[in-house]
């Protein structure tokens, strides 16, 4: 099957056919595959766009330079948030491979994006990357006055089982001068961290 007909399949209403096309595109990719997938990130068709995000995530770290470039430079917020989501997919699919530092740097810039969907997607992606991204999350959390961003970062930190996560969340939960919503989120995040710890070290 040609790449063109596989790309058509990414629009198919049947998720199984879309997944099949996604894996075939990743396996038979050529030098035009990644730019072509990047072009879909501006599409109105949500199914097609999400399929492209997932396919970029399956291809893996080769897509990182393209994704970071668009995350940082595109003037389209849908493209920027799709890039952050694709970076999260890469981190999820390739847990055993160190995540490229340029990807973490790009997502850190994404945290300062003026568009909520972009900074929330960037925070989520850094949460999926985990411990290597924790410093970036903590640094921006310390500086930001944006309540929505602070909440997104607290939620991302809650999936990173690390002593620094616990320390900052405890500090926020106990800080009476902090925003009520941020404090409540930090409390909930601490509960999730406790569950993570229990799952990885059941007594």
Cut 0.85: pTM above it: yes
Question: Is the CB of residue 47 less than 8 Å from the CB of residue 18?
Answer: yes
Same domain, 78 and 17: yes
Question: Is the CB of residue 116 less than 8 Å from the CB of residue 87?
Answer: no
Question: Is the CB of residue 144 less than 8 Å from the CB of residue 133?
Answer: no
Q: Is the pLDDT of residue 196 over 80?
A: no
Same domain, 75 and 49: yes
Q: Is the pLDDT of residue 203 over 60?
A: no
CATH number at residue 133: 1.25.10.10
- Asked which of 44, 70, 100 is the last residue of a domain, the reply is 100
Q: At what angle do helices 116-129 and 147-157 cross, to 10 degrees?
A: 20
Q: Is the pLDDT of residue 15 over 90?
A: yes
Query: Of all residues in the chain, what percent carry a pLDDT higher than 70?
Result: 97
Q: How far apart are the first and last CA of the chain?
A: 52
- Asked which of 82, 100, 118 is the last residue of a domain, the reply is 100
Same domain, 80 and 19: yes
- Asked which of 100, 134, 165 is the last residue of a domain, the reply is 100
Same domain, 96 and 117: no
Q: Is the pLDDT of residue 107 over 80?
A: yes
Encode pLDDT of 128-153 as tens digits: 999 999 999 999 999 999 999 999 99
Same domain, 58 and 140: no
Identify the band that residue 201 occupies on the pLDDT scale cut at 50, 70 and 90: low
According to the per-residue pLDDT averaged within each range, which of 4-18, 114-128, 169-183 is highest? 114-128
Average pLDDT along the chain: 93
What is the residue range of 182's domain? 108-203
Encode pLDDT of 39-69 as tens digits: 999 999 999 999 999 999 999 999 999 999 9
The H-assigned helical ranges of the chain are 3-9, 15-27, 33-40, 46-59, 64-73, 77-93, 101-111, 116-129, 131-143, 147-157, 163-174, 180-200
Same domain, 96 and 126: no
Average pLDDT over residues 69-80: 97
| Total count of domains within the chain | 2
Same domain, 90 and 128: no
Q: What is the pLDDT, as a whole number, of residue 195?
A: 84
Q: What is the pLDDT, as a whole number, of residue 4?
A: 83
CA angle 29, 34, 35 (to 5 degrees): 130
Average pLDDT over residues 157-175: 93
């Amino acid at each position: 099957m040609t790449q063109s007909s596989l790309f058509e399949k990414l629009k198919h209403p049947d998720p199984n056919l879309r997944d099949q096309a996604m894996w075939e595109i990743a396996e038979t990719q050529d030098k035009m595959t990644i730019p072509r997938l990047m072009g879909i990130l501006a599409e109105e068709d949500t199914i097609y766009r999400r399929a492209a995000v997932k396919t970029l995530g399956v291809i893996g770290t080769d897509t990182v330079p393209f994704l970071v470039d668009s995350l940082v430079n595109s003037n389209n917020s849908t493209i920027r948030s799709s890039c952050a989501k694709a970076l999260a997919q890469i981190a999820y699919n390739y847990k055993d491979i160190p995540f490229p530092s340029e990807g973490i740097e790009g997502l850190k810039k994404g945290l300062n994006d003026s568009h909520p969907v972009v900074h929330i997607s960037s925070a989520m992606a850094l949460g999926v990357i985990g411990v290597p991204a924790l410093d970036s999350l903590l640094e921006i959390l310390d500086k930001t006055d944006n309540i929505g961003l602070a909440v997104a970062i607290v939620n991302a930190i809650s999936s990173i089982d690390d002593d620094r996560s616990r320390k900052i969340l405890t500090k926020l939960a106990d800080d009476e001068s902090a925003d009520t919503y941020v404090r409540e989120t930090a409390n909930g995040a601490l509960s999730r961290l406790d569950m993570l710890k229990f799952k990885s070290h059941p007594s």
